[in-house]
Structure 1
């Protein structure tokens, strides 16, 4: 209600100021900035540009095709009341706003905005004439606008964030990113630059960012057949992929099967895709010199050779097509032989091939945002002394990131799916019997009766006593229980009737009679999460049916919303038209996961105010972090390249301002060769090695969880206990728990100081240009450099040690100089992990679950060579008292020149806090290497009672 009043007051104030504006005036000063009325001959459709000072380092820019700027409701932005000191000056050409940290200039003639630091250095600028565009469009019989804003960057800018995408890209400079929520693709409209600025684009429609030029069809190349004929490629369709028996050969100029049922209009009559394969052969040419970007979507197996070199080798289950991006450096006029081999693997298939030529010189430094629909252009510019401060600005605008309960940082086990109550309990029992650490067991979909999706009732034939099951998990096995809850409701069940009577359902999927994949298929739809009453009703439903049974956390699946998979964006918009919605679906469709999480978060906080909410959701949006949401990377494939792509996906997601990210360790969808009950020995050993490498990587991500289709991901189902895979997976699960004092401290820092846990290297080494495009290494917190291994039978890997005082091998303590490429050992059981010189790494005891016992003895590994500091954070672990500052912090500092370690006075307290504990320091230096598992040098324990103490190494 407060937020609505704030927005209403802003609109009234704006309208009063606008109506008072004399016709001859080009700008007016308002209570929080200025409004510029540019010259219509130069500003195209822009009638007004408003600059609002939000903070010394945050500026809000809106532009509108009408002077009133009404009709826009922000869902991401929280009420903002802070108004810093600022002043304005003007000339005939421009008006200038100055804060303590920023200078903002607006050209009066065009409304173009530029941002400078307090030394007068330009940070970022909108492009001049033509850089901002409004194009009128209509949706649902209402006026809307296609909105574009072009910014001028430079070649040295590296650009990150924008959510989570599966194309393996890290630095988006010169690339194109599409924001459209989809399974494995998460749209977050926040851009983060290595030049320490960010842009929050406050729009919820389908948005293209970066190089926004449309991609061309294959036919836009000059094409040559296999025999050299001008104008097409030679396509050969094989009716039997095993025997390579040709069915037909024909000329083709496009490969374009992007959405559901498109194959019916493209593939030749009589071709059975689930049995056949296709090959395209010939040559391509272009009249442009330079890098041509190719963008594909694919299902099944796809291999591509260009000029004799393989440039692509991918696989994905056809029901969930994946993207691929790669570049070809082409010489104008030169013919490049091309061969494309495709095994569709299913009847409903997906495959596209599109390309874009090199950018013209005049557009080399352009970086744009272009949204399909909106009432006005709306963005926030954030500047900071470093990237953490920029992300802090993002959270100032959209809300702080909730602190996860401590148990959520332990290990979770999941599969698709546990089918009975006994399977759930017996799985947890096996963990405890084998002494494998575990904190959370997840019950995936279909625990209801087959025809009862959306009822939130357990099928009593398979789950006869869910209350008792959850009680056993809690009380006997000390394990939390998470359950999958979809926004999906089957037609005709009681919940459907209740929601339908109130106008709370999207009805188009019902009208289209679209059936899902269960049994013979059922018609269903989703509830309207934009409707407050519908959100409340959905929470009441899962509260009464599930939460009261003891459910600890929520798995919000298909939250894009995936009402029906692989439909066109146009169809998605049609599906999301609701009877009682106040919003045009085209303007707000990307915000569904935000509103879906909001209902659960606010409902649980109202029902049990002091219990932390935990939501795992398949999609999110700017602001999701304030609703206790962790986002996972969806139904990814189980291949080595899929694992590699998760590194860049997780980094860009984290650099979008949302700190909690996860992935299905082992990948969700699995190739047929791994799904056989009896794998070949070769395939089984590759599967075991891939799962080992994936667990190693996953142990150093914010949320550590395994999930996927058969084969099952429990450690004993991967390999026997004497196998190197089992031993390595167990080692990293145990290591994760020993690191909990470190991990929970940086989680606390994430809430209290807007920190980011999984960190792209540019966040900590911005001045090192070598790191700007490294997307397969990252920092896990302030100290640990993680370099996952993502290739089969790879026993070493090339990696870069950023330019700092040096790095220590975690396992041996060996010291390495920073600023160099090295070949690191990566034996089957270990991935390279290095500790930054000048780090303090706290280790706790071995645990079977996070609250098994307190860390009353904390080993402090002190990596010397530079001053070091770490703050050990603790609180009550599962409640919300941390929001009131009820917690403790112990500052620990190493002074390199003095050679002293100081454990500072404890600040703060909470119920159950350990008043006394032991700290056991271990000092590592280049001359005295020590690994975390090696015998420790003898040191004197520090008996700590909350008072400061300083020691020197003995």
Structure 2
């Protein structure tokens, strides 16, 4: 005993260095106490640091729901310099003021990054559903002109998230991720799942959460936006590949009322020759509201669900189906979940057992949300989903109301007990848990079909579960269209790369007879142009159907504009699928805010209506009406849109081949069928064949477009399109490199292989120039190469 005491004394003597304050060095950082607060600083890597604070002797520990990375032993130097305890890795200097407990972060060269506001950690005693805990808050000091991004989907139309206050409780159209990143190259993740307020003003930037046994946040230094995204994914999970077919065009509506109607829509698209890869079945296929989400086809209009799915598949299309996180009282899942006390008691959708609107409170539906935090409840959920739907060959899931819906919330609602404590304590992580449950269970059943989940809500880490988040039931307007752009960009900057919105807006409350309304028809055409350059291109909504033939016929302006962008989407599939591999393999991002590629261009940092799709295509959606005059469509005059070409490169007009210098504001003509698109000089873009669905034709005769003006490269990725063999290395890549000065294209040796891989193919090389910028205008290609997997270099 005396010897152990002597060793402890020596340790403390070493770490105090004569200071009145002491600390303990651990394998991953330090522990100490200052006044009445315990501190722990943990290095997860040389550039990722976790900061923990809690009331003294409270023994705060937490298993994160979002963070799956474990701290790794990192070489750090720990030293006291006066009042400052300094922890230094190869990438970061973390300083803890031993007098007041303030933590600050600098680069290894001493460049300031972020500092806590002095004495700003707050612990306020709080009784949470009968348990003594705390409300917690931490404030930081940002530079005056610093730009920050992230926080999820806010529907506020802002790119830079400064000078705002947001109360974060997941809801239909707002998805909250308590994370932001700075144009200074760092990110901060506030790891708390309770209702949280984010506030930024002239005095401070803070997170304040209703429930927390301690303060828990992660600081990461990625040097740039891509680096921060990569570190957030390193912390919370990497992104699996989606099947190729998910990148085609998707048709949906609220709702197809019979299997004949749904199959008929697919048939109509095939008859018209308009490409389509997916059809979505919305709610009520289970019957009445007391059978809500029964995970069975109990509606007599869906008389043979196996035939319905087979009919869709026989037309070379795919199908996903609406599932919810709640169950009606007459369903089998409800009864089994209730038997293990895994149903919550609060007001959710639908409110009434009757279909009539408004809901009749005399006939409550009795629908209850299930406890997705409970692993046994997730098992039950999947058991019925697998037996009733997945076993029929369903291709994917539309998890609606994954927040979940919680109407007129009362404080007592949050006292509902989950498997992990009160609902209040874990409320915002609900979508992560329910989406994760479906993903994990399907992966256990089969590796032959990739998981694809379309879902309405998101939390940090959800990117690891094969999910694409849509922005909720937005009300259609030009303003709403514009807001969907910054929504997707800020979510992507949180490390969650897959996003889409209801093309055309969900509700059409502001439009009478929308399909005959010139303003709405123009809005829909512009929204579908934007949708063609999102990770998922999906038309959906209520109040009016959205199929292409609802907007006229071939030869009419709206129809032709819609068809043009669906076809354009399919021609870009080799580019899109290769970009998706870059997202999974290299932690890249598909919808790229301009800060990602032009961090030094101050004019680009706060642009909320332009972005890069992949690393080559600048997308400039039209978000104002141009051709609706007094309720009539007037296409006689060509209108214009003002846009900014970021500095540091030249840009080639996708439609004309004209080259322009970056760093300038220009105006671009925007007839109804033109959304301004510019390609970065030095880009190489593969163009796929004309198809009716994604896998109709092999990529054995690709057009390879070269955009001159700079050196560049592109890696073409291919695999079996829909299984997890790529995780075993069964895929191939072909790297294209362009040397601009000597006009030389080099196609490298193919790396890798997979079953069904093309042994030989044509690459039709086209140098884009005015009057010769695509396969429709080119009289001939600059070069056609027969490629057999070996290096080819050609001077053009």
TM-score (norm 1): 0.78
Counterpart residue number, 1:573: 414
Separation of aligned partners in 1, 2:296 and 2:740: 61
Partner-residue secondary structure (3-state), 2:291: coil
Residues 936 and 648 from structure 1, CA distance in 2 versus in 1: closer, same or farther, beyond 3 angstroms? farther
User: Is 2:489 aligned against 1:493?
Assistant: no
* Runs of at least 4 residues off by over 6 Å: 20-24
User: Is 2:462 aligned against 1:599?
Assistant: no
Q: Which one of 191, 194, 197 corresponds to residue 186 of structure 2?
A: 197
Task: Indicate if the aligned counterparts of 2:293 and 2:328 stay in contact, CA closer than 8 A.
Answer: yes
User: Is 2:738 aligned against 1:881?
Assistant: no
Where does 1:760-775 land on structure 2 (aligned, <5 Å)?
760-775=593-608
Q: Which moved more, 1:460-469 or 1:512-521?
A: 512-521
User: Is 2:577 aligned against 1:740?
Assistant: no
Per-residue deviation, 1:594: 0.5
Counterpart residue number, 1:459: 298
Give aligned pairs, total: 765
Residues 936 and 657 from structure 1, CA distance in 2 versus in 1: closer, same or farther, beyond 3 angstroms? farther
Residues 572 and 183 from structure 1, CA distance in 2 versus in 1: closer, same or farther, beyond 3 angstroms? farther
Counterpart residue number, 1:515: 352
Where does 1:729-808 land on structure 2 (aligned, <5 Å)?
729-793=562-626, 795-808=639-652
Counterpart residue number, 1:305: none
Partner-residue secondary structure (3-state), 1:177: strand
Task: Indicate if the aligned counterparts of 1:150 and 1:369 stay in contact, CA closer than 8 A.
Answer: yes
Q: Deviations over 1:693-745 (max 9, x none)?
A: 01011000011100001321100012222211110110110110110010000
Q: Deviations over 1:362-419 (max 9, x none)?
A: x1xx211111211111111111132111100000000001211111111110000000
Q: Which moved more, 1:727-736 or 1:487-496?
A: 487-496
Q: Deviations over 1:428-451 (max 9, x none)?
A: 000101111111100001111113
Residues 188 and 791 from structure 1, CA distance in 2 versus in 1: closer, same or farther, beyond 3 angstroms? same
Task: Indicate if the aligned counterparts of 1:489 and 1:495 stay in contact, CA closer than 8 A.
Answer: yes
Separation of aligned partners in 1, 2:568 and 2:151: 32
Q: Which runs of 5+ in 1 are unaligned?
A: 1-16, 41-46, 212-358
User: Is 2:734 aligned against 1:890?
Assistant: yes
Per-residue deviation, 1:673: 3.5
Q: Deviations over 1:579-630 (max 9, x none)?
A: x623122111001111001110111111113421111111010011111111
Counterpart residue number, 1:67: 57
Partner-residue secondary structure (3-state), 1:125: strand
Q: Which runs of 5+ in 2 are unaligned?
A: 1-10, 628-638
Task: Indicate if the aligned counterparts of 1:922 and 1:936 stay in contact, CA closer than 8 A.
Answer: no
User: Is 2:694 aligned against 1:850?
Assistant: yes
Separation of aligned partners in 1, 2:15 and 2:419: 35
Task: Indicate if the aligned counterparts of 1:750 and 1:757 stay in contact, CA closer than 8 A.
Answer: yes
Residues 620 and 432 from structure 1, CA distance in 2 versus in 1: closer, same or farther, beyond 3 angstroms? same
Counterpart residue number, 1:269: none
Per-residue deviation, 1:933: 3.9
Separation of aligned partners in 2, 1:368 and 1:185: 19
Task: Indicate if the aligned counterparts of 1:812 and 1:932 stay in contact, CA closer than 8 A.
Answer: no
Residues 929 and 157 from structure 1, CA distance in 2 versus in 1: closer, same or farther, beyond 3 angstroms? farther
Partner-residue secondary structure (3-state), 1:551: coil
Task: Indicate if the aligned counterparts of 1:206 and 1:372 stay in contact, CA closer than 8 A.
Answer: yes
Task: Indicate if the aligned counterparts of 1:445 and 1:485 stay in contact, CA closer than 8 A.
Answer: yes
Partner-residue secondary structure (3-state), 1:209: strand
Separation of aligned partners in 2, 1:478 and 1:196: 45
Task: Indicate if the aligned counterparts of 1:811 and 1:933 stay in contact, CA closer than 8 A.
Answer: no
Per-residue deviation, 1:570: 3.0
Separation of aligned partners in 1, 2:654 and 2:315: 32
User: Is 2:559 aligned against 1:718?
Assistant: no
User: Is 2:767 aligned against 1:923?
Assistant: yes
TM-score (norm 2): 0.93
Partner-residue secondary structure (3-state), 2:472: coil
Separation of aligned partners in 2, 1:460 and 1:390: 48
Counterpart residue number, 1:215: none
Task: Indicate if the aligned counterparts of 2:482 and 2:609 stay in contact, CA closer than 8 A.
Answer: yes
User: Is 2:12 aligned against 1:39?
Assistant: no
Q: Deviations over 1:506-534 (max 9, x none)?
A: 13449x99636634551211110011100
Task: Indicate if the aligned counterparts of 1:190 and 1:199 stay in contact, CA closer than 8 A.
Answer: yes
Per-residue deviation, 1:929: 5.8
Per-residue deviation, 1:25: 4.5
Separation of aligned partners in 2, 1:159 and 1:189: 13
Counterpart residue number, 1:439: 277
Separation of aligned partners in 2, 1:514 and 1:688: 33
Separation of aligned partners in 2, 1:941 and 1:796: 37
Partner-residue secondary structure (3-state), 1:688: helix
Residues 116 and 746 from structure 1, CA distance in 2 versus in 1: closer, same or farther, beyond 3 angstroms? same
Partner-residue secondary structure (3-state), 2:66: coil
User: Is 2:259 aligned against 1:421?
Assistant: yes
Partner-residue secondary structure (3-state), 2:430: helix
Per-residue deviation, 1:91: 2.5
Task: Indicate if the aligned counterparts of 1:26 and 1:38 stay in contact, CA closer than 8 A.
Answer: no
Separation of aligned partners in 1, 2:444 and 2:464: 15
Q: Deviations over 1:254-292 (max 9, x none)?
A: xxxxxxxxxxxxxxxxxxxxxxxxxxxxxxxxxxxxxxx
Where does 1:354-373 land on structure 2 (aligned, <5 Å)?
363=203, 366-373=204-211
User: Is 2:619 aligned against 1:630?
Assistant: no
Partner-residue secondary structure (3-state), 1:35: strand
Q: Which one of 517, 528, 540 corresponds to residue 383 of structure 2?
A: 540
Residues 83 and 435 from structure 1, CA distance in 2 versus in 1: closer, same or farther, beyond 3 angstroms? farther
Task: Indicate if the aligned counterparts of 1:449 and 1:459 stay in contact, CA closer than 8 A.
Answer: yes
Q: Which one of 661, 664, 667 corresponds to residue 499 of structure 2?
A: 661
Per-residue deviation, 1:21: 10
User: Is 2:211 aligned against 1:392?
Assistant: no
Q: Deviations over 1:662-687 (max 9, x none)?
A: 100000001264347xx7xxx52222
Counterpart residue number, 2:195: 206
Partner-residue secondary structure (3-state), 1:689: helix
Task: Indicate if the aligned counterparts of 2:252 and 2:281 stay in contact, CA closer than 8 A.
Answer: yes
User: Is 2:651 aligned against 1:812?
Assistant: no
Q: Deviations over 1:180-228 (max 9, x none)?
A: 10001001122111111111111001111132xxxxxxxxxxxxxxxxx
Task: Indicate if the aligned counterparts of 1:845 and 1:855 stay in contact, CA closer than 8 A.
Answer: yes
Residues 513 and 559 from structure 1, CA distance in 2 versus in 1: closer, same or farther, beyond 3 angstroms? closer
Separation of aligned partners in 2, 1:516 and 1:77: 40
Separation of aligned partners in 2, 1:722 and 1:449: 40
Task: Indicate if the aligned counterparts of 2:21 and 2:98 stay in contact, CA closer than 8 A.
Answer: no
Q: Which one of 129, 133, 150 corresponds to residue 139 of structure 2?
A: 150
